[in-house]
Amino acid sequence: MKILVTGGAGYIGSHTVVELQEKGYEVIIVDNLSNSYQSVINNIHKITGTLPDFEEFDLCDRQKTLDFFSRHQDMDGVIHFAAYKAVGQSVEQPLKYYHNNLTSLMNILEGMKKNEVENIVFSSSCTVYGQPEKLPVAEDAPVQAAASPYGNTKQISEEIITDTAKANQNVKGILLRYFNPIGAHESILIGELPLGVPDNLVPFITQTAIGKREQLSVFGNDYNTPDGTAIRDYIHVVDLAKAHVVAVDRMINNQHKANPEVFNLGTGNGYSVLEVVKAFEKVADQPLKYKIVDRRPGDVEQVWADTSFANRELGWKARKDLEDMMRTAWNWEKALAEKNTEE
Q: Which residues are catalytic?
A: 150
CA distance 287 to 116: 55
Helix (H, G, I), strand (E, B) or coil at 176: strand
Is the CB of 258 or the CB of 293 nearer to ligand UD1? Answer: 293
Cβ of residue 289: shortest distance to ligand UD1, in angstroms? Answer: 12
Cβ of residue 183: shortest distance to ligand UD1, in angstroms? Answer: 12
Asked if 5 contacts 17 with a C-beta cutoff of 8 angstroms, the reply is yes
40, 110, 327, 328 from 334: Cα distances, Å: 17, 43, 11, 10
Cβ of residue 209: shortest distance to ligand UD1, in angstroms? Answer: 13
Is the CB of 77 or the CB of 151 nearer to ligand UD1? Answer: 151
Is the CB of 228 or the CB of 321 nearer to ligand UD1? Answer: 228
Cβ of residue 7: shortest distance to ligand UD1, in angstroms? Answer: 13
CA distance 244 to 124: 12
Give the residue ranges of DSSP H helices in the chain.
11-22, 39-48, 62-71, 87-92, 94-115, 149-167, 201-210, 237-252, 273-284, 308-314, 322-342
In terms of C-beta density within 10 A (0-12 exposed, 13-18 middle, 19 or more buried), how is residue 333 classed? buried
Sequence-distant (6+) residues with CB within 8 A of 296 are 219, 220
Is the CB of 70 or the CB of 131 nearer to ligand UD1? Answer: 131
Q: What is the DSSP string of 21-60?
A: HHTT-EEEEE---SSS-THHHHHHHHHHS-PPEEE---TT
Cβ of residue 75: shortest distance to ligand UD1, in angstroms? Answer: 27
Is the CB of 294 or the CB of 343 nearer to ligand UD1? Answer: 294
CA distance 322 to 331: 14
Q: Helix 62-71 to helix 94-115 angle, to the nearest 10 degrees?
A: 30
Interface positions with ligand UD1 (CB under 6 A): 85, 87, 125, 127, 151, 180, 199-201, 204, 216-219, 230, 232, 273, 296, 298-299
